[in-house]
Structure 1
Amino acid sequence: MNIHNYLHEHFPGLTLQPPLFYSWPTGLRFEIAKPGSEHLDTDNLEQMGERTTSLFKAVFEKDDNVILVTNVFGLNDSPPPKTNVFLKYIKDKDVRMKLQYERIDDLIEEEDETVTHRFSLQCKAGDIRYQPLLMAICHEDFKHPTRILKNRWNIGIDIYIVNITRHLIYHLYDDRGCDIISAEKDILLPLYHSASPWILEYDREQIDEVFLKEETV
């Protein structure tokens, strides 16, 4: 399924760019890393691993159909970059053969002319080596061996995992937090309750208004 057609049908008007939570009325925003901790502190790494993995497992089953979307953005004259995301984190080479590419010239609005290189792959959730992928995203702002863009600091990357079976989108934007949005509130209601302690306090009031509105009537 084409990512544009899917979004048009189930998330009309939504553009895959951060901040996803503020771009859609039904979503959750979770705190991932420990505030004020050194990035490589053992406790911090354990919390990042636990929360990213637990949230993923809460909204994906192995047989769910998903679209893994990678947006890589940089200057307009930059060629399509090699990120190795799909080579490294998709298990089956036959699945990787379905990878699609497109160039989007107007996704980022800045003074400098920029371009977004979008790679998308439809697969099963179980095809993704999601645990190391999620930790690599957490390390992306730091000099770490698993950094997806290696030493290329002049470009950026966003990775979205779109669950086309359950109609939700998982976006771990960096080590600080994770946005999960859904087409319908009921899809995320169980996660709202089970992972409530992890909700980012700054956005808790807005989230409570959405998910508690009908329960308190």
Structure 2
Amino acid sequence: MDIENYLKLKFPRLELVPSIYYQWEIGIHFSLGGDIYQLTETGELNLERFKLVYKQITTLFDELFQNDDELLLVTNLYKDKTVAARKLKVYQSFLKCKKDLYRIKVKTYPYPFESDDAEQLEMQQFSVPCKREDLIISGLLKAASHEDFPLTPKFGKTLNSYPDVFIVNMTKDIIFFIYDDRGCEIIANQRDLLSPLYEKYYDWVEEVDRKRIEKGLGVKG
């Protein structure tokens, strides 16, 4: 099943762009990095923060994705209509089997954000079916958190726009999105898939988000 038909069936009315947590009732917004600031007192990158971020996103991913789950790796690329898309390092770098590159589907949509130049811009959405074992998970998760920093691995930019990467678990009906080093959004079709995750990693959720999350999950704080 392609991503468009899957979303119509499982997540109707959802637009697969950042802030999926605010579009869907059942979801969690996790804050990453704790209280560690991105830079040290001397202005250098604080690698201790990123070590914590890597640990958090890997932990969350491992809780939700098993080896036999059917996945879709979806990438949104935002670009000028007149400029040809460059090769997406999302797939070249993080798909283990290069033959899978020939299975990538792409569809073009109107630019989804408010902008004075919106008419000149577009969103190209790439997707490929895969399983966990087909992906270089550690590198993929790290690259998603490196958007604003000169760290590797990296997805690469096109016209100053960093790709958004969503990992869709079609077996469990879960969508996992790391927007950068500050946080990740997870939505699902069933409350019981996320309720244990919220309770287990309660301290990773900002107080401002808890009331909304608890209402969606049907749990008490």
TM-score normalised over the length of structure 1: 0.91
8 Å contact kept, 1:38–1:44: yes
Match of 2:59 among 37, 54, 57: 54
Equivalent position of 1:98 in the other structure: 103
User: Cα deviation per residue 1:35-92 (whole Å; 9 max; x = unaligned)?
Assistant: 4512532321221111010000011001100000000102222212222211110111
User: How far is the alpha carbon of 1:106 from its aligned partner?
Assistant: 4.2
Which is further off, 89-98 or 178-187? Answer: 89-98
User: Cα deviation per residue 1:138-194 (whole Å; 9 max; x = unaligned)?
Assistant: 1111223433125x5522311000000000100001110000000121121121111
Gaps of 5+ in 2: 40-44
Map 1:137-152 to 2 at 5 A: 137-149=144-156, 152=158
Which is further off, 14-23 or 72-81? Answer: 72-81
Cα-Cα RMSD: 1.8
CA distance in 1, matches of 2:95, 2:197: 26
SS at match of 1:156: coil
Matched, 1:165 2:177: no
Map 1:1-217 to 2 at 5 A: 1-35=1-35, 37-39=37-39, 40-112=45-117, 113=119, 114-149=121-156, 152=158, 154-213=160-219
% identical equivalent positions: 33
CA distance in 2, matches of 1:172, 1:63: 22
TM-score normalised over the length of structure 2: 0.89
Gaps of 5+ in 1: none
How many residue pairs match? The answer is 214
User: How far is the alpha carbon of 1:126 from its aligned partner?
Assistant: 2.0
Which is further off, 98-107 or 64-73? Answer: 98-107
Change (3 A) 1:94 1:70: same
